[in-house]
A and B are shown apart, each in its own frame.
Chain A
Amino acid sequence: MEYKFQVNLTGIIDLLSKHTYSSPQVFIRELLQNASDAILARRYLEPEHQGEMLIESLRGEDETPVLIFRDHGIGLNEEEIHLFLATIGQTSKRDEWFVQSDDFIGQFGIGLLSCFVVSDEVVVITRSAKDNQKTIEWRGRADGTYSLTVLDRQIEPGTEVRLRCKDGNEEYFQPETVQRLAHHYGSLLRFPIRFSDGNETILINDVRPPWEQEFLDSESERAAFMDYGTTLFETEFFDYVQLNSAIGDVHGVAFVLPYSPSLAMKKTHRVYLKNMLLSEQTEGLLPDWAFFVKCVVNANDLRPTASRESFYEDETLAATRAALGAQLRQYLIDLREHSPGVLRALIELHHLSFKALAVDDEEFFRIFMKWLPFETNMGPMTLTEYIESHKVVRFVSKLDQFKQTAAIAAAQSLCVINGGYTYDGPLIEKLHDVFPNIQLIHVDANRLFLGFKYLTLAEQSEVEKFIALANQVLQPFECSAEIRSFAPAELPALYHASPDVLFKRSISATKEMVTGLWSSVLDEMAEGIAADSFARLCFNFLNPVVYKIAGISDENLMRHSIELLYVQAVLFSHRPLNVKETSLLNESLLGLIEWGADAFEGWIQ
């Protein structure tokens, strides 16, 4: 023997209002969906049936707001009413039910559930369009009890749902709110939705979206699309692209954003499913690179997930995404011929999208790479501008390396591209593969050092003592010293540290303040770094101060000078000083002051 649980409706409604229907206004969406399903079902029987819906807002006897939703759909007979009741409580989610079956009756019940969130009593008056049926009234209460009456009067086939405002939900029963929400969810529905507040009746979905309209000329078409975007998103968009995909049966429009979106921003779109608003936050509709547009589309053949904020990742979605992506890509390519001015402005705004696509799309790369802007140590420029004045393309692949090398490279008239940004490095690295005649040089501080001139033997002997002392002074700082000739002459010394060395530096700086457990952890981490990975300090033989210091005989003075040049070079490389270096700075400064005072005294005497 099988038994069924007695489901407590009050409990379910309570749960629903707290979770699934956390926004009570969805009852309007659900009732529109019910009406839409009912009208579609009736059209199976009567293909010519147009169907429409009327929403009435009125006041009950005690001034309680009442809403009536009336449709000319298929209606329900007595048996079907019992059926939909049976589904209440089985699942609270229409989409879940939808996945399991195409059963319209079951969905009807699920849709009604949401009404109990705003109304203690729901009255359904319905008459089936099938056969010659009687009009039935179902009166359901939130405590789970209901009554069923066969009415004497007959209504037109269809369904009428009456809701009485539950205390605390008045705002969802205000005529303006109901009108606005009905438009919000149902503006694309293909049957007329009218709204009446007792005085006048208006058509809510009076305008079809522009992609369903025909236009006389391209100007009025453009105006219609752009206006639609402005009204929908309260944004003056830059441009628009029509979207159509036979797969997924998707139609709509992508609006080009008038600002550069941040990379971390969620790329969401407004999506209708079978003409009902699914979500304004749908993700995953477009390829990842297409973050320069905001879309509004209607999809007939995509399957939403329960959250309504994305679609099931299946072949259909993948193919739809590819088709929509191809249209956006083609739009960009076509601009090149038809509106180069627009393209220029678009690249300025959305070069990140261009770059994101070009990384993985060789043909696109071939077309657009030359116009894309990059940062260099001589200001921003496009690749074309760069290549016009430089034979080889020099680039740095990390942001912090760029800072270290930019000034030195500039002093040697080398123009270097900053490849540290998300797409820039991979794009530059691809250059040679696509255009074999372009020569690439990956620049880092080490490589710049290679370009510095070695000293002659005679010069070397001049600085021998200086370098020996510098190596001795810098040993505790895990830094080696060398000397070369390089531009600019004003720069006395350059400090360079590899990533490993920098990591070691940060460990030792942090260790100065950490004890116990974490001190051991830091030690263990440091063990992983080769003991001989030293930073490099390269003195500039062309610098007059360095030259002078290298020649002085007072070893103490030479020592303090080396210490100060070291500290200065570290700071110049954008590295903070650690405790040891800060005290070195203080000691050597004091040492120099003392030396100066002594010298001054001697000079006075």
Chain B
Amino acid sequence: MSENRERAYELLEESLRLDDGDERIAVCEDAVREADLSGDLQTRYRAREHCLRAHVFGGAPEKGLVGFSWLLAQFDGNPGEFSEWGILWKYKWILSLICDFPQIPKARIYEMLGDFETRALRAGYGLHAVYHYRYRTEKFWDDKESAREYFQKMIELSPDELSNCSACLKDEMVSSAIYFNDDARAVELAQPLLDGENKCASVPHRTYADLLLPMVRLGRQQEGLHYHRAGYRLVANSRGFFDRVAQHLIFLTLTENFERACALFEKHYPWTEHNWDSLHLFHFFRASWFLFYVVSEKGAVSHVGSLRSFGIYHDLDYQAFCLASKFKEQAEDLAKQFDLRNETDFFSRTLRETPALQKWCAPFPLGE
């Protein structure tokens, strides 16, 4: 019906005026409902495209997966009707989040990468983006050798229209330098991004967060504090950056800004509810564990204040060591799921090595 169609477009327009997050998701989902009632395929497709974006960037990747499979089915079922570049571009969003779900087997992920490769080649694109996502996947389960191989293949090719934007590509160079243990190079590579020469919806948001631990390892905490200040503002209100919030939490712990760390923890803990992104949960639980572990080791804060609406330990005081063991358990549980699927021990190893981070702890007060 044309009324529903109009309403759908109105809602989509409304959604564009909102930041990524729950509200935008709700408005987009409404638009999808109206679009479905309109029965018009173009409108339904368009609404789901917007909704997919809202899901992926607003912290509801599980819904994004479902939405994408709908879009892809429509794309395949109606040849020539929808933009090929458009669906391939969204395919990359899915490839960048599919590993976050340990319930998806490794073989399925490789199948998906193969499918993407076939489609990209068929559409006349090069392999730059394909190698990029193959690299990221191998990096996810820490197969260093394969990761390096695909990384090398990627940088030997020129980016094309299917490649990520130049800000994202530069950011990838930064995070790969960190991954291949070259912190100093990462910081150097990041400068143009931090200077705002290239930017996009997620850069330098991710860049700042990724650099925090390297800055500590390089003994450049003071500059790290700037990165925290600048970077946290960019990620503080978007669930899509929950994993990055966790990096800030670890940094605040390492610089012994415990009060601020607890405040951040409190603000973001509700994001764990109804959260399907196991990777984000893993990072947040790990960071929370580390925070409360250090806090109770140092006797800095014995228990944590008003933790309202907590699903945990309703009747107990929130004692730091209780919280530490609770979050350790939750992180371990997720690590097991990941390692089982990944056939590596990367996640458990990361957890085992977490307490040792304490050796970097030193007071660098944030000030006002």
The yes or no verdict on A and B being binding partners is yes
Judging by beta carbons under 8 Å apart, are A510 and B66 in contact? yes
A420 to B230, CA, bound (A): 28
Task: Report the stretch among B81-89, B105-113, B170-178, B182-190 that lies at the interface.
Answer: B105-113
Looking at the complex, which one of A262, A307, A318 makes contact with B368 (CB distance below 8 Å)?
A318
Instruction: Give A contacts to B, CB under 8 Å.
Output: 262-265, 284, 288, 305-307, 309-310, 312-315, 318-319, 322, 398-400, 420-422, 429, 433, 499, 503, 506-507, 510, 513-515, 517-518, 520-522, 524-525, 527-528, 574-576
State whether B33 touches A574 (Cβ < 8 A).
yes
Asked if B298 is an interface residue, CB under 8 A from chain A, the answer is no
Residue of B nearest to A260 (CB): B17
Partner of B73, one of A262, A429, A518: A518
B29 engages A420 (CB within 8 Å): no
How far, in whole Å, are A460 and B191 apart by their CA atoms in the complex? 72
Q: A306-B196, A527-B103, A576-B33 are in contact. Are A429 and B108 (CB under 8 A)?
A: no
Separation of A234 and B36 alpha carbons in the complex (Å): 42
- Contact between B108 and A521, CB atoms less than 8 A apart: yes
- Do the beta carbons of A524 and B62 come within 8 Å of each other? no
In the bound complex, what is the Cα–Cα distance between A521 and B112 (angstroms)? 10
Q: In the complex the two chains form, is A400's CB within 8 Å of B23's CB?
A: no
Instruction: Point out the residues of chain B lying under 8 angstroms from A315, CB to CB.
Output: 226, 367
Query: Chain B: how many interface residues by the 8 Å CB criterion?
Result: 51
Tell me the nearest residue of chain B to A308, going by C-beta: B196
A-contacting residues, B66-84, CB 8 Å: 66-67, 69-70, 72-74, 77
Closest approach, in angstroms, between the C-beta of A352 and any C-beta of chain B?
11
Q: Which residues of A contact B74 (CB under 8 A)?
A: 513
Task: Out of A264, A399, A503, A524, name the residue touching B17 (CB < 8 Å).
Answer: A264
Q: Is the CB of B230 within 8 A of A576?
A: no
In angstroms, Cα B368 to Cα A319, docked, is: 7
Q: Are A318 and B18 in contact (CB under 8 A)?
A: no
Whether A306 pairs with B195 at a CB distance below 8 angstroms is: yes
A257 to chain B, nearest CB (A): 14
Does B317 belong to the interface (CB within 8 Å)? no
Residues of A within 8 A of B70 (CB): 510, 513-514
9 more CB-based (< 8 A) A-B contacts, given A399-B22, A433-B308, A513-B73: A262-B16, A284-B233, A313-B229, A422-B19, A429-B309, A433-B306, A499-B274, A522-B69, A575-B33
CA distance A309 to B21 in the complex (A): 26
B37 at the interface (CB under 8 A from A): yes
Cβ-closest chain A residue relative to B109? A521
- Most A CB contacts (10 A, CB to CB) among B27, B195, B309, B368 go to B195
Q: Can you identify 23 A-B contacts, CB atoms within 8 angstroms?
A: A264-B17, A284-B233, A307-B195, A314-B226, A399-B23, A400-B26, A420-B23, A429-B309, A503-B62, A510-B66, A510-B73, A513-B77, A517-B112, A520-B108, A521-B65, A521-B108, A522-B65, A524-B101, A525-B62, A528-B101, A574-B33, A576-B33, A576-B37
Q: Is the CB of A307 within 8 A of B18?
A: no
In chain A, what residue has the closest Cβ to B198?
A: A307
A315–B225 alpha-carbon span in the complex (Å): 9
Q: Which residues of B contact A305 (CB under 8 A)?
A: 194-196
Q: Most chain-B Cβ atoms within 10 A of its Cβ — which of A322, A399, A421, A522? A: A399
Q: Which listed residue (B101, B196, B237) contacts A525, Cβ 8 A?
A: B101
A306 to B33, CA, bound (A): 45
Q: Which of A264, A503, A520, A527 contacts B19 (CB 8 A)?
A: A264
Chain B residue at minimum C-beta to C-beta distance from A576:
B36
In the bound complex, CA of A307 to CA of B167 (Å): 13
A264 touches B72 (CB 8 A): no
Q: Tell me whether A506 and B66 are in contact (CB under 8 A).
A: yes
Q: B229 touching A421 by the CB < 8 A rule?
A: no
Say yes or no: A429 contacts B367, CB within 8 Å: no
The residues of A that contact B194 with a CB separation of less than 8 Å are: 305
* Residue B345 is within 8 A (CB to CB) of chain A in the complex: no
A263:B19 contact, CB within 8 angstroms: yes
Q: Report yes or no: B18 in contact with A264, Cβ–Cβ below 8 A.
A: yes
A502 to nearest B CB, angstroms?
9
Are the CB atoms of A524 and B226 closer together than 8 Å?
A: no
Q: State in angstroms the CA–CA spacing of A524 and B103 once bound together.
A: 6
B115 within 8 A of A: yes
Q: Is B343 at the interface (CB under 8 A from chain A)?
A: no
Q: Closest 8 interchain pairs by CB?
A: A313-B230, A262-B17, A307-B196, A399-B26, A518-B69, A305-B195, A306-B195, A313-B226
Q: Is the CB of A506 within 8 A of B196?
A: no
Contact bitstring B289-318, A, C-beta under 8 A = 1, else 0: 000000000000000001011000000000
Check if B19 sits within 8 Å of A525, measured CB to CB. Answer: no
Contacts of B227 in A (CB 8 A): 313
A528 to B237, CA, bound (A): 27
- Please determine whether A421 and B308 come into contact, CB atoms closer than 8 angstroms: no
CA distance A420 to B29 in the complex (A): 14
Answer yes or no: B276 CB below 8 A from chain A CBs.
Answer: yes
A517-B108 contact, Cβ under 8 Å, with A318-B229, A400-B29, A433-B306 = yes
Cβ contact within 8 Å between B368 and A322: yes
- Across the interface, which residues of B come within 8 angstroms of A306, CB to CB? 192, 195-197
Complex: A429 Cα to B18 Cα, angstroms:
22
Q: Provide the B1-45 mask, 1 if CB < 8 A to any CB of A, else 0.
A: 000000000000000111101110011011001001100000000
B144 CB-CB contact with A under 8 Å: no
Residues of B within 8 A of A575 (CB): 33
Q: Across the two chains, which residue of chain A brings its CB closest to B228?
A: A313
Q: Is B104 an interface residue (CB 8 A)?
A: yes
Let me know if B260 is at the binding interface, CB within 8 A. no
Known: A307-B196, A510-B70. A420 touches B22 (CB 8 A): yes
* Docked pose: A310 CA to B230 CA in angstroms: 11
Give the distance in Å from the alpha carbon of A399 to the alpha carbon of B15 in the complex: 13
Measured CA separation A319–B27 after assembly (Å): 37
Do B18 and A310 touch across chains, with their CB atoms under 8 A apart?
A: no
Q: Chain B 178-222, CB within 8 Å of chain A: the 1/0 string?
A: 000000000000001011110000000000000000000000000
Indicate if the CB atoms of A263 and B62 lie closer than 8 Å.
no
Chain B: which residue is nearest A287 at the CB level? B233
Complex Cα–Cα for A288 and B74 (A): 40
- How far, in whole Å, are A306 and B27 apart by their CA atoms in the complex? 38
Asked whether A288 lies within 8 Å of B233 as measured between CB atoms, the reply is yes
Chain A residues near B18 (CB-CB < 8 A)? 262-264, 422
A514 touches B73 (CB 8 A): yes
Pairwise interchain contact A517-B115, C-beta atoms closer than 8 A: yes
B19 cross-chain contacts in A, Cβ below 8 A:
263-264, 422
Complex Cα–Cα for A264 and B201 (A): 11
Tell me the smallest distance from the CB of A384 to a CB of chain B, in Å.
23
Alpha-carbon separation in the docked complex, A520 to B101 (Å): 14
Query: CB of B349 within 8 A of chain A?
Result: no
Q: How near does chain B come to A271, taking the closest CB pair, in angstroms? A: 14
In angstroms, Cα B63 to Cα A400, docked, is: 15
* C-alpha gap A499/B29 in the complex (Å): 13
Inside 8 A of B230's CB, which chain A residues have their CB? 284, 313
Contacts of A310 in B (CB 8 A): 196
* Distance (whole angstroms) from the CB of B11 to the closest CB of chain A: 12
Chain B stretch 208-259: residues in CB contact (< 8 A) with chain A: 226-227, 229-230, 233, 237
CA distance A528 to B19 in the complex (A): 29
B73 and A422: CB pair below 8 A?
Answer: no
Which residue from chain B places its CB closest to the CB of A508 in the assembled complex? B66
**What is the CB-to-nearest-CB distance from A316 to chain B, in angstroms, rounded to a whole number?**
10
Bound Cα distance A359, B307 (Å) = 16
